[in-house]
């Protein structure tokens, strides 16, 4: 056989064998894929399903309801424990405090009226205390409930159990405005509205009258708020709390003198501690110089009638109760609220005995 013939036979054999080898190689590769994937489905399908299984979930956006940490139901109403960004703490350069708690008590009878106005009693606790502890110890929620005033109690947490009168963000200009705005929005969160069963509606809502009460070291942030302005404060109740800043309180009180009755401001100050007495006497001297009428009761329950407590815009009451007991033992906060300019939709018999020295109703412990 010639060399040309042998070459032709080799080429023909190669052409016949190549498709068979290619098919065998494809079969072997597919077999390996099935074993590795432990599946009989095509590779593209497996890849698509694997990507769905291992896809990362996007983090859920925070809502207003996330700021509501606790909902506590009681016989007098509902207490909400909130964590607000605009709470006094944490605050840069204002101490090591980090608690953003704000306690809100809504009485059982509370309802937002058709004018969609949210009236607030804002309380600042004193030294070595907490917001929740002050409400419980001094029965602030019970005194508000007994007054039948259509308002809510708000107690922001200051320095926790510390001898410190600072109040973080609320000591600064616009701190109160930011706080009230976030508070209003949070009280319209779905979680709050569901708990209150429609007492606070959705949609448009505005902060109405703001009344501030302060015990002991709570005077400092109260004075700062009155000094900075930003939101009108209708009334201030000080419970053995004016240790300083009497000029700031006098300036705030005299600013609306001679104006419309509805816009006039009111100050009620209970005094027991010697430094507080001196500071209140300095304030009364300024009012005397300005010929501003006020009432000074040198012994609690001997001169002031309930009518006078409602009529006068500056009232000073010397009490024989202790520094811790004067706020609640004689229902001091309750009587201030009864005599306030807040709106009440429920009837109360407090005014039946409006003349003569007012009776002192003593309160017992919880």
Per-residue pLDDT tens over the stretch 269-297:
999 999 999 999 999 999 999 999 999 99
Q: How confident is the model at residue 22 (pLDDT cuts 50, 70, 90)?
A: low
> What per-residue confidence (pLDDT) applies to 31?
55
Would 273 be classed as within a structural domain?
A: yes
Select from 308, 325, 312 the least CA-distant residue to 270. 325
Q: What is the pLDDT of residues 95-139, one digit of tens each?
A: 899 999 999 999 999 999 989 999 999 999 999 999 999 999 999
> What per-residue confidence (pLDDT) applies to 111?
94
Q: How confident is the model at residue 41 (pLDDT cuts 50, 70, 90)?
A: low
| Cβ–Cβ < 8 Å for 222, 309 | no
Would 162 be classed as within a structural domain?
A: yes
Residue range(s) defining the domain that contains residue 228: 67-353
Residue 46 clears pLDDT 60, i.e. is over it: no
Structural domain count, the chain: 1
Give 8 or 277, the one with higher predicted confidence.
277
Would 209 be classed as within a structural domain?
A: yes
The pTM score is 0.83
Average pLDDT over residues 33-48: 52
Would 163 be classed as within a structural domain?
A: yes
Average pLDDT taken over every residue of the chain:
88
List all residues 6 or more positions away from 313 whose beta carbon is below 8 Å from its beta carbon.
253, 264, 265, 266, 267, 293, 294
Select from 233, 185, 187 the least CA-distant residue to 213. 233
> What per-residue confidence (pLDDT) applies to 53?
54
Would 148 be classed as within a structural domain?
A: yes
Q: How confident is the model at residue 93 (pLDDT cuts 50, 70, 90)?
A: confident
Q: What is the DSSP letter of 169?
A: G
Neighbours of 195 (CB within 10 A): 17
Phi and psi of 58, rounded to 5°?
-75, 140
| Cβ–Cβ < 8 Å for 171, 156 | no
> What per-residue confidence (pLDDT) applies to 348?
78
Residue 34 clears pLDDT 60, i.e. is over it: no
Would 26 be classed as within a structural domain?
A: no
Residue 58 clears pLDDT 90, i.e. is over it: no
Select from 106, 117, 80, 111 the least CA-distant residue to 191. 80
Phi and psi of 42, rounded to 5°?
-60, 155
Would 15 be classed as within a structural domain?
A: no
Would 45 be classed as within a structural domain?
A: no
Q: How confident is the model at residue 263 (pLDDT cuts 50, 70, 90)?
A: confident
Q: Which residues of 104-119 are buried (b: 16+ CB within 10 A; e: fewer)?
A: bbbbeebebeeeeebb
Query: Which CATH number fits the domain that encloses residue 323?
Result: 3.40.50.1820
Residue 182 clears pLDDT 90, i.e. is over it: yes
Give 69 or 5, the one with higher predicted confidence.
69
Select from 292, 272, 276 the least CA-distant residue to 284. 292
Q: How confident is the model at residue 258 (pLDDT cuts 50, 70, 90)?
A: confident
Q: What is the pLDDT of residues 318-344, one digit of tens each?
A: 999 999 999 999 999 999 999 999 988
Q: What is the pLDDT of residues 127-171, one digit of tens each?
A: 999 999 999 999 999 999 999 999 999 999 999 999 999 999 999
Residue 183 clears pLDDT 60, i.e. is over it: yes
Which of 7-11, 19-23, 258-262 is the least confident region? Answer: 19-23
Helix, coil or strand: residue 207? strand
> What per-residue confidence (pLDDT) applies to 35?
47
């Amino acid at each position: 056989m010639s060399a040309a013939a042998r070459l032709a036979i080799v080429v023909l054999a190669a052409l016949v064998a190549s498709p068979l080898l290619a098919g065998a190689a494809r079969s072997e590769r597919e077999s390996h894929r099935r074993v590795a994937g432990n599946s009989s489905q095509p590779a593209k399908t497996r890849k698509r399903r694997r990507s769905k299984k291992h896809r990362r979930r996007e983090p859920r956006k925070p809502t207003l309801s996330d700021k509501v940490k606790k909902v506590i139901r009681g016989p007098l109403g509902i207490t909400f424990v909130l964590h607000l960004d605009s709470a006094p703490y944490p605050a840069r350069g204002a101490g090591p405090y980090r608690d953003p708690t704000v306690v809100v008590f809504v009485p059982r009878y509370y309802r937002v009226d058709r004018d969609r106005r949210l009236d607030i009693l804002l309380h600042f606790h004193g030294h070595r205390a907490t917001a929740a502890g002050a409400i419980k110890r001094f029965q602030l929620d019970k005194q508000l409930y007994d007054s039948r005033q259509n308002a809510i109690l708000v107690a922001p947490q200051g320095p926790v159990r510390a001898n410190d009168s600072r109040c973080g963000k609320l000591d600064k200009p616009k701190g109160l405005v930011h706080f009230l705005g976030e508070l209003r929005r949070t009280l319209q969160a779905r979680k709050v509205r569901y708990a209150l069963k429609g007492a606070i509606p959705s949609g448009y809502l505005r902060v109405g009258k703001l009344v501030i009460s302060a015990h002991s070291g709570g005077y400092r942030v109260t004075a700062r708020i009155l000094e900075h302005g930003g939101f009108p404060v209708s009334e201030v109740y000080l419970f053995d709390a004016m240790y300083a800043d009497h000029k700031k309180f006098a300036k705030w009180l005299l600013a609306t003198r001679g104006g419309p009755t509805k816009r006039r401001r009111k100050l009620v100050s209970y005094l027991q501690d010697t430094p507080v007495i001196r500071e209140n006497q300095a304030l009364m001297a300024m009012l005397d110089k300005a010929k501003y009428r006020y009432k000074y009761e040198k012994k609690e329950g001997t001169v002031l009638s309930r009518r006078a407590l409602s009529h006068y815009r500056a009232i000073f009451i010397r009490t024989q109760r202790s520094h811790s007991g004067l706020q609640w033992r004689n229902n001091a906060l309750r009587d201030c609220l009864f005599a306030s300019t807040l709106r009440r939709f429920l009837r109360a018999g407090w005014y039946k005995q409006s003349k003569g020295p007012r009776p002192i109703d003593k309160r017992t412990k919880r």
